[in-house]
Amino acid sequence: MAPDTHGEPAARGDAPAGGSAPSGQDGYQLVLKLAHPDCWMREVTAETDARLLVNAVYLVEGHVKTHVVGYGESTAALDDLVRVTTDSEHTDSVTEMFNQQEFGSDSVLSNKARRSLLVEYDPDDSIHDALVSRGFLPQEPIRIRDGWEFWTVAVDYPREKIQDRLDAVREEKDADIEVQKITSRSSVDAPTLDVETLSDRQREVFELARERGYYDRPRNVSGNELAAELGISKTTLHEHLRKVEAKLLGSN
Q: Which residues contact 230 (CB under 8 A, 6 or more apart)?
A: 204, 205, 208, 237
- Count of C-beta atoms within a 10 Å radius of residue 118: 16
Torsion of CA 82, 152, 37, 146, to 10 degrees: 50
Alpha-carbon distances, residue 185 vs 34, 130, 157, 159, 196 (angstroms): 21, 22, 12, 12, 21
- Residues 67-113: tens digit of each pLDDT: 999 988 899 999 999 999 999 999 999 999 875 544 433 344 555 78
- Residues 213-244: tens digit of each pLDDT: 887 767 788 888 888 888 899 888 888 888 87
pLDDT number for residue 149: 94
Q: Backbone phi, then psi, for 99, in 5-degree steps?
A: -85, 100
Most confident segment among 135-139, 183-187, 188-192 = 135-139
pLDDT number for residue 121: 94
Q: What angle do CA 67, 93, 131 make, to 5 degrees?
A: 50
| Of 193 and 165, more confident | 165
Domains of the chain: 28-186 (no CATH), 198-248 (1.10.10)
Read off the pLDDT band of 15 (50, 70, 90): very low
Q: Backbone phi, then psi, for 25, in 5-degree steps?
A: -125, 150
In this structure, the chain runs to a length of 252
pLDDT number for residue 113: 82
**Is 80 exceeded by the pLDDT of residue 1?**
no
- Residues 124-141: tens digit of each pLDDT: 998 988 998 999 998 888
Read off the pLDDT band of 186 (50, 70, 90): low
- Residues 22-45: tens digit of each pLDDT: 444 568 899 999 999 999 999 999
Cα 213 versus chain centre, distance = 23
